[in-house]
Amino acid sequence: MPLFRLKVDEHRWVQDRLSLYLDNRLEPEERARVEAHLRGCETCARSWETLRWTVQAIRALPPVRAPRSFAIRPEQVASVSQRGGWLRRAAWAMAATLILVLGLDLILSRGPAGPAPAMAPAGAPATEAEQQALRALKDHTLTPSPAPMFGLSVPQPAPTEAAVERRPGAEEVPPQAPALPLSPLRALEFLLLLGTIGLLALDRWRSGRLR
């Protein structure tokens, strides 16, 4: 029934434009079409009357006064300006950590001979235990063996002793580390970089909402 369908679509078309018609925002020919339809269609005319009544009632809502003064106190601005910049400060803190980690990575990547002088504080002599551990570590790295991989099934005295004596700085250069596709340090650097960019972007978005 194409005629019926056309009729239904005309109701829909008019209903969709009643709000614009009310605000006098229709083109002259559209307005004429709406008015012609409203003259002949009781349903849409009633729809129009109730819509007009509703909008009038909304516009007549009594104004609500602010229940108190919203003037800002100086301490509110101070506390918020500290809180407000936290995103940017977190981003800078993360960037600083990234630089530290990059520095550490650079030092460690100089090879097994590097760590001892680089990690020890200037002038502080290495302890006997440290020297022993380093020696054990050097011996161990110079004679590569599958031992650490199967450490549980084939216990070997020298590497085990070295592992026990090892200091935190020396732990960063296990013999199999260079073979890993992504070292934990690299992963950390990547995460820190992503975090820094993310925080800066969030900070920019927040300040953009004030423009």
- List of residues contacting other proteins (CB under 8 A): 15-16, 18-20, 22-23, 25, 49-51, 53-55, 57-72, 74, 76-77, 80-81, 84, 207, 209-211
Residue 196 structure tokens: 């820094």
Q: Which is nearer to other proteins, 50 or 131 (CB)?
A: 50
> Crossing angle of helices 184-208/86-108, nearest 10°?
160
C-alpha distances out from residue 107 to 69, 83, 153, 162, Å:
59, 36, 34, 21
Between 67 and 117, name the residue whose CB sits nearer to other proteins: 67
| Least Å from the CB of residue 88 to other proteins | 13
DSSP conformation letters of 154-173: S--HHHHHHHHH--GGGGG-
CB 198 to other proteins: min, Å: 19
Residue closer to other proteins, measured from CB, 80 or 154: 80
Smallest distance, other proteins to C-beta of residue 196, A: 23
Residue closer to other proteins, measured from CB, 53 or 190 = 53
* Inter-residue contact 42 to 74 (CB < 8 Å): no
